[in-house]
Structure 1
Amino acid sequence: MGFFNTVCTSTVKLTGKTAIITGCNTGIGKVTAQDFYKRGARVIMACRNQEKATKAAQDIKQKCEHEGTCNLGELIVDELDLSSLKSIRQFTKKIIDRESRIDILVNNGGVMTCPESKTEDGFEMQFGTNHLGHFLLTILLLPKIVHRNFESSDPSRIVTVSSVAHERGTMNFEDLNWEKRKYSAIGAYGQSKLANILFTKELARRLKEANINNVTTYSLHPGVIATELGRHMKDTYGVIATFVWGMLKWLLKTPEQGAQTTIYCSVDEKCKHESGLYYAECNVKTPTKLAQNQEDAERLWTESLKLVGLPENFDPFRGDTSS
C-alpha cells in the first residue's frame, strides 16, 4: 500500500545502454533492474549473493516473457560485495576491461540498522557498506562513465539511494566508525545516508569544476518500504520491534512503489540536466542543513579517499594521481 506513491511516467527506452545496479537481487533494486531490462538496457546486476541474484534474473526474465514484453534487454550477474574493498576493486577491474560503456550507475545496495559489526576492512558496517563501498565503486568506475563512446547527447547518470533517515544523522569526522562512543544502529544508519547525499553533492561540484557536462548525479529517498532491509530489526531491537514493524507493514510502500524515484532519476528526461540534488516522490526535495554543508561534503570526500586507500590527489575522472 503505502502513502504518497508518485509514479515515474517516462517511456524512455534504454536500448544500447548499459546500467549497473548494486544489491538488486531483491526489493527496489530488483524492480529497478526489471524496469531497465524492459526498456532494453544491458543490466549488470552487481550482487554479493550470486545464487540469489541469478534466481532474481531468472524471475525477471520469466515475468517479462509471461507479460509478452518486446525488445527486452540483457541481464548479467556479477559478484560484488560492498563491504569488501577487495571485492569492489575486482568488480570494477572486470567491468572496465569488459564493458565499452556505462550509462547508468545505481548505488542501491546497503544494510540498515544492523547490530554493531565491522566490514572486512574494519569499518563500521553501515558506513563502510552504504557509503565507503559505493564511494570507491563510483570513483573507480568514473573514468569509464565519463569517457564512454557513443553518439547520444544524453548524459550518463549516477544515482545513489539515500533515505529520509539522513535527518537523524550527523557526520562525526572524529569517530566515523563508532569506536569512541556508544554504538547506535539508527545513528550509524543516519550517518551513512547523510554521507550518500554529501557525496552526491560533492561529486556534482567536482564534475562541474572539471567541465564535465556529460555526467549527472542524484541522491534520493525511496520512501519507507517493506523490503528485506528490515531483516536486522529483531537482532538489533528485539522481538517487540519486529512485531511493531510487522504491524505497520500495511502502511509501507511495496518495492514497486519504492523504486519509482530511483527509476525517475535514472531515466526521466525532466531531470537529465539536474545534478547534485536530492529527490523524493520523483521531485526535488530539500534535505537537512547538514546535508547541504559544503565544508562537510569536501571533508567527507577527502576522508573517504584516505579510508579506501587512495591518495588525496587521486583524479577520479582519469583514475590516476596526475595533476
Structure 2
Amino acid sequence: MQFDRHRRLRWTPGMRDLWRENRLSIETLMYPLFAVHGSGVREPISSMPGVEHLSVDELRREAVELAELGVRSILLFGIPAHKDERSSEAYDERGIVQQAIRAVKEEVPEMVVATDVCLCQYNPAGHCGIVRNGVILNDETLPLLAQTALSHAAAGADLVAPSDMMDGRVKMIRSALDERGFEHVPVMSYAVKYASAFYGPFREAADSAPQFGDRRSHQMDPANRREAIREARSDLDEGADVIMVKPAMAYMDIIRDLRERFDVPVAAYQVSGEYSMIKAAGLRGWIDERAVVLESLLGLRRAGADLIITYFAKDVARWLREERG
C-alpha cells in the first residue's frame, strides 16, 4: 500500500527539532510595563495577575532583572499624577513616562525602550485625542502627539509607538522628530488597531476607560480586513518604520496579510484580555498555562509577526532559560 509517511519527520524529539519551521526566542518579545508616581510602589493589577504598577525606583530594579533574564526590549505606559483637557503630563519633560525612560536607560543602557504615544490616560475624558463638545478632534490632537513623541525621544526613548489612531499622526510625529534631530528614532505605528473587546483589563491598568461613548470613530471595525491594508499603507507612506496589529490572536489573518504585502517589520500585540484569559484559566488548572502561552506566541510568529508585545515575556524568558538548562 502506497501513502505518504509524514510521521517519519516527527518520530523523535530530535527529529522534530531539526525540521521545526518557526521558533520562539526572547529577542523577538517586548515586555509592557506600567509606570506610576511615588516610591516603593509595586501595586498588583487585579484583572491582570502577575502584572503590576511600578514606581520609577521599582522600574529600575525590574529593568535589571529583565536584562538578566535576557529580555531586551520594553514598552512603557504611564499613569499620570493629574489629568487635564490638554493631556499636559503626556508631553511634560517631568512626566511619569519621561522619568521612567531616563531611569531605565541609566540602569540598563542597552535595554531598547519603546514608548506608547497617546493621550487617553492623560485626560479626564479617557479618549485618544482632544475632546470638544463630545467630539474627538483629529487635527487639533496631532501637535500634542508630536510633542509627546518628542519629549520621549529627548528623554532617551529608542522607539516611539503612536497608538491613538488619529489620521496623519505618523506624518506629524516623523516630521517633528526629524526637525529636532531625532531622525534616528524609529516610529512603530499601531497601524492596525481594532476597536476590540479584548482591551478591558488594560483600561483598568492604565486608568484610561472612555468616560463617554467609545473609540469606534478612530479604531478599526473588527469586521474589516481590506481596510487594514489601507491603514498600514498610509502609515508607511507617512514614515512609519514598523507596523503593528492589535490585538493579536483574533487577527492572525491580518498579521499574515501585512506580512505578505509589506517588506517592513510587523509587530503584534498580545493584549491584556488575551493575557488575562490565559492567565485565569491557567490559575484554575483548566489549561496548561505554559504550553498554551508558548503555542499562542508560536502561532503569532508563524502568522508573520517579527516582534510580539506580550505580558508573558518575562515568564517566557524564564521558561526558555530552563529549557536551555
TM range (shorter): 0.3 to 0.5
> Relative contact order (C-alpha < 8 Å, sep 6+): which is higher?
1
Between Structure 1 and Structure 2, which shows a larger proportion of strand residues? 2
TM-score (norm 2): 0.33
